Amino acid sequence: MQITAAMVKELRERTGAGMMECKKALTECDGDMEKAIEMMRKAGTAKAAKKSGRIAAEGVIRIAASDCGKKVAMVEINAETDFATKSDDFQGFAEKVVHCILANEPEDIEALNALPLEEGGDTVLISRDNLVAKIGENINVRRFTVVATDGLLGSYLHGSRIGTVVELEGGDETLAKDVAMHVAAVRPVCVSEDQVSPELLEKEKDIFMAQAAESGKPPEIIEKMITGRMKKFIGEITLTGQPFVKDPDQTVGKLLSAANATVKSFTCFEVGEGIEKKEEDFAAEVEAQAQAAKKS
């Protein structure tokens, strides 16, 4: 069967693949469009597996809330480049994934991957693999959380790279939103002093003791120095001890007390945190390609 330009164009639009790849698929499938799509999807899955080892440290945070406001889902989805994350296909996938999480509350990534992305459609994993084939980059649904409460939930997105969800008891929606924004801006480690890990406190105390010992001051002065520094450190890393970002003259703890509110929990995601990015040397890459071309 003759493969026409119109057939190739249609297959490109439906798969997002290259022209030569589409023509080859149609030729092998004797012009059968649906068979060609199926074959390319299978090939796309294989490509996705090959790309899965590549570092994906760019991405977006997405947040979705239930109509009643008592449940919020947040997810981080990564790709290799910022350019890819801005595409309509990637953005649409991310939006569907966060609503899938909100509706189904899966236990983990494996359970999420097995769910249909949309009712009656492909699973999240297959949809992800198809998107990898179309965009040409590794894509990773890295982590998510679902928070449900009888109290108040506040969420905040800083662009699409930092997202926070805060659970409050007492207060109002404005306060919940303000505290969520503060968490995104200042990044506390935990809510209050009683939640600071003993290991972290001991580590910081050892550092302060070593620094103070070099001062040559008497032991009783050193002890006071260490006590003061530890108090300051705890205030810096705890939500209730931090100066409120919108009013630094009062701490978040005082803000909450004035509203007769307490923070039960908070979660903060930042795109790519903890992922070691590969450092690219473009000049060296070009030079290596030039040398390889000379040898061939």
Q: What is the pLDDT of residues 123-158, one digit of tens each?
A: 999 999 999 988 888 899 999 999 999 999 999 999
Q: Are residues 45 and 129 in the same domain?
A: no
Q: Are residues 13 and 94 in the same domain?
A: no
Q: Are residues 64 and 46 in the same domain?
A: no
Q: Are residues 142 and 106 in the same domain?
A: yes
Q: Are residues 70 and 86 in the same domain?
A: yes
Domain coverage including residue 36 = 5-51
Please indicate, yes or no, if residue 73 is contained in any of the structural domains: yes
Residue at token pair 């499938």: 29
Where is the domain boundary, 103, 122, 148? 148
Please indicate, yes or no, if residue 189 is contained in any of the structural domains: no
Where is the domain boundary, 148, 163, 179? 148
Q: Are residues 45 and 94 in the same domain?
A: no
Please indicate, yes or no, if residue 85 is contained in any of the structural domains: yes
pLDDT tens digits for 149-193?
A: 999 999 999 999 999 999 999 999 999 999 999 999 999 999 999
Please indicate, yes or no, if residue 222 is contained in any of the structural domains: no
Please indicate, yes or no, if residue 37 is contained in any of the structural domains: yes
**What is the Cα 137 distance to its own chain's centre?**
17
Task: Please tell me the predicted confidence (pLDDT) of residue 46.
Answer: 47
Any residues with CB less than 8 A from the CB of 169 and at least 6 apart, and which? 151, 152, 261, 262, 264
Please indicate, yes or no, if residue 139 is contained in any of the structural domains: yes
Q: Are residues 40 and 58 in the same domain?
A: no
Task: Please tell me the predicted confidence (pLDDT) of residue 89.
Answer: 95
Task: Please tell me the predicted confidence (pLDDT) of residue 35.
Answer: 86
Q: Are residues 90 and 123 in the same domain?
A: yes
How many structural domains are present in the chain?
A: 2
Please indicate, yes or no, if residue 190 is contained in any of the structural domains: no
Query: What CATH number is attached to the domain comprising 21?
Result: 1.10.8.10
Please indicate, yes or no, if residue 13 is contained in any of the structural domains: yes
What are the average pLDDT values for consecutive 10-residue runs of the chain, which has 296 residues?
86 71 88 83 57 74 96 96 92 98 97 94 93 90 96 95 97 96 95 92 85 80 86 93 96 97 97 70 54 57
